[in-house]
Amino acid sequence: MTDSQERWQRVNLALACFALDPAALGGIWLRARVGPVRDRVQKGVEIALQGQILRRLHPGIGDDALFGGIDLAATLAQGHVVRTRGILDENAVLLMPMAERVKAALAARLAGALDAGKGLALIAYDEGAEPEERLPQALADRLAIHLDLADQGLSDAPELALDQSALAAARLLLPHVTVPDHAICDVATVAARLGIRSLRAPLQALALARASAALMGETCVDHADLTLAVELVLAPRATQLPQEEQEAQEAPPDPPHPEEPEKAHEAQDQDQIDLPPLEMLIEAAKAILPPDLLARLQAGRAARQAPAANGSGAVKKGNRRGRPLPARPGRIGSEARVDLVATLRAAAPWQPMRRKATGKTDQLHIRMSDIRLRQFAETSDRAIIFVVDASGSAALARLGEAKGAIELLLGEAYARRDHVALIAFRGDGADVLLPPTRSLVQTKRRLVQLAGGGGTPLAAGLKAGLELALTAQGKGMTASVAILTDGRANVDLAGIANRTQAAADATAMARAIRARAIPALVIDTGIRPTQALASIASDLGAPYLALPRADARSLSAAVDASLNLA
């Protein structure tokens, strides 16, 4: 059986276990792009959850739909407050497509609802193409089953086999399934050796093991059930490769009593049958872990280290354009736009009291306190400022790499609303060779004439980057700075060749950039990593990447990943 076929078999078992008690497992996190493979999973979900309430959620759903609100028409007609039921008020399995787009506020509300024990469960369809596009951690931690079908082939994904009668019998047996004490200890140990800090994960693994035993018609969890739980719950959450534990220096166990040797051997054999060795569960987890686990975790940490790196420009609130936000109380003015429906909803509960006070029963009474104004979240444009070392013998190579990276980034700028700028520092100062622009033609024209040579005034380059970033922010853009250098600063801000003062000036400018909360990235292009440049990155609060032989494409990919531009 191929790895793809085994993965699909685990999907079948995962859906069957989830169908027995969705609330106990919390839900499923499914990473898969829209296509026939995911369609078959959705069909399997509908089959497995027959007879249960399914509710579809949009990642931008509002609080009125979640928790219920005022029924405006009924309230005005009946003269008293009539409230609607929210989606979270009933026991249901929630289906959420595009789960990678869920905002932190909605993730917190759903996480609270799952913790409240109302019988809710969530199936999150994560369609993110990049590792950075992920379900918020607050939700991922509460969904027991994690499935990744990004590489699943359709030929290895037949229709899922789910027997309703078998599920019904297993659902009746589930309350009677027990878990041995030593199995609980083993699951907790596996979670610790995989670097899993959440206490929910071992509890969810045990819940899935119980469901697996019920499907097999057993009343006690065995080795196969624990292995399935490790594969579906623990292994996808791993943050490290399992470390080998040092053998404890313990005294040998007491020999069995000479009068009852057979009973002692029988008890030992029974223990081995009931509970598999801990190392077998560790090996099962290792078999599931991707070979590039450490590389993925390292790239994810680098992306998270960049301050304010959220994949888009800064969010600004306004009342004219952008993504709609909930209405807010306010006063009517020349720049304000009244949200009529929200205003009526706020005024509706007070109508009986106001009609009685005024004696006018045929009018709608609106007060200033009822006024609700529209507001929108508008995402600003971004400016990616390259600060490039154009000094020394390697200047031509560095400039060529920077030119190619800038052109690659500009090729995608139209879709991401990015502007790109270039600053070169050499000799005794720094020059803005390309102000923030989206024009590829203008960029190529400026880059052709770019030359290099001379000293390394790193502090001057950082100062020019800070000034250009502040100018871009003044124009409403979100600025990020990417620094390409070998780190050997030898010219201070005054333009004098003084290594000690040059290093002190560079540190001061780096701290000034950090104080302004400007996201940054330091790319070391030297043959060997430079400790001084790593210190500059620390002062910037920025990721440090050593790329001694990076070409234009790898530089562009590094900027994309570290500043989270995807």
Local confidence band at 509 (pLDDT 50, 70, 90 cut-offs): very high
Q: What percent of the chain has pLDDT over 90?
A: 14
Task: Please give the single-letter amino acid code of residue 165.
Answer: S
Of residues 103 and 441, more confidently modeled: 103
Q: Is residue 38 pLDDT above 90, yes or no?
A: no
Q: Is residue 114 pLDDT above 80, yes or no?
A: yes
CA–CA separation, 375 and 40 (whole Å): 40
Give, as one character, the DSSP assignment of residue 70. Answer: B
Q: Is residue 8 pLDDT above 80, yes or no?
A: yes
pLDDT of residue 373: 84
Most confident of 19-23, 301-305, 416-420: 19-23
Average pLDDT over residues 483-493: 82
Q: What percent of the chain has pLDDT over 70?
A: 73
- Strand 544-546 with 520-524, pairing: parallel
pLDDT of residue 316: 52
* Three-state secondary-structure class, residue 297: helix
- Residue 399 token pair: 């400039």
pLDDT of residue 508: 92
Most confident of 257-271, 400-414, 458-472: 458-472
Average pLDDT over residues 448-462: 77
* Three-state secondary-structure class, residue 544: strand
Average pLDDT over residues 64-77: 77
pLDDT of residue 28: 92
- Residue 41 token pair: 């999973």
Domain annotation for the chain: domains and CATH numbers: 1-162 (3.40.50.300), 165-239+273-289 (1.10.8.80), 315-379 (no CATH), 382-562 (3.40.50.410)
Q: Are 458 and 498 in contact (CB under 8 A)?
A: no
Average pLDDT over residues 281-285: 74
Average pLDDT over residues 470-483: 86
Local confidence band at 212 (pLDDT 50, 70, 90 cut-offs): very high
Q: Is residue 376 pLDDT above 90, yes or no?
A: no
CA–CA separation, 134 and 399 (whole Å): 35
Q: Are 431 and 424 in contact (CB under 8 A)?
A: yes
Report the candidate in 154, 141, 101 with the shortest Cα–Cα distance to residue 125: 101
Report the candidate in 493, 424, 482 with the shortest Cα–Cα distance to residue 459: 493
Of residues 380 and 248, more confidently modeled: 380
Q: What is the 3-state secondary structure (H, E, C) of 112-153?
A: HHHHCCCCCEEEEEECCCCCCCCCCHHHHCCCCEEEECCCCC
Q: Is residue 290 pLDDT above 80, yes or no?
A: no
Q: Is residue 266 pLDDT above 60, yes or no?
A: no
pLDDT of residue 193: 86
Report the candidate in 390, 395, 540 with the shortest Cα–Cα distance to residue 480: 540
CA–CA separation, 387 and 310 (whole Å): 22
Query: Model's pTM, two decimal places?
Result: 0.56
pLDDT of residue 341: 79
Q: Are 514 and 418 in contact (CB under 8 A)?
A: no
pLDDT of residue 528: 75
pLDDT of residue 150: 79
Q: Is residue 363 pLDDT above 80, yes or no?
A: no
pLDDT of residue 261: 47
Mean of all residue pLDDT scores within the chain: 77
CA–CA separation, 306 and 562 (whole Å): 7
Report the candidate in 335, 342, 304 with the shortest Cα–Cα distance to residue 317: 335
Report the candidate in 524, 556, 559 with the shortest Cα–Cα distance to residue 538: 524
Average pLDDT over residues 65-85: 77
Chain centroid to Cα 479, Å, comes to 22
Q: Is residue 287 pLDDT above 80, yes or no?
A: no
Which of 156-170, 252-266, 280-294 comes out lowest in average pLDDT?
Answer: 252-266
254 burial (CB, 10 Å; 0-12 / 13-18 / 19+) is exposed
Q: Is residue 80 pLDDT above 80, yes or no?
A: no
pLDDT of 519-554, one tens digit each?
888 888 777 778 888 888 889 888 887 766 656 666
Report the candidate in 139, 155, 231 with the shortest Cα–Cα distance to residue 190: 231
Q: Are 315 and 105 in contact (CB under 8 A)?
A: no
Q: Is residue 301 pLDDT above 70, yes or no?
A: no
CA–CA separation, 289 and 200 (whole Å): 20
Q: Is residue 419 pLDDT above 50, yes or no?
A: yes
Q: Are 497 and 491 in contact (CB under 8 A)?
A: yes
Q: Is residue 391 pLDDT above 60, yes or no?
A: yes
Most confident of 175-179, 405-409, 452-456: 175-179
pLDDT of residue 311: 43
Q: Is the dihedral of CA 100, 102, 107, 113 positive or negative?
A: negative
Non-local CB neighbours of 271 within 8 Å, separated by 6+ positions: none
Dihedrals φ, ψ of 518, to 5°? -95, 120
Average pLDDT over residues 117-124: 87
pLDDT of residue 478: 83
pLDDT of residue 176: 93
Q: Is residue 26 pLDDT above 70, yes or no?
A: yes
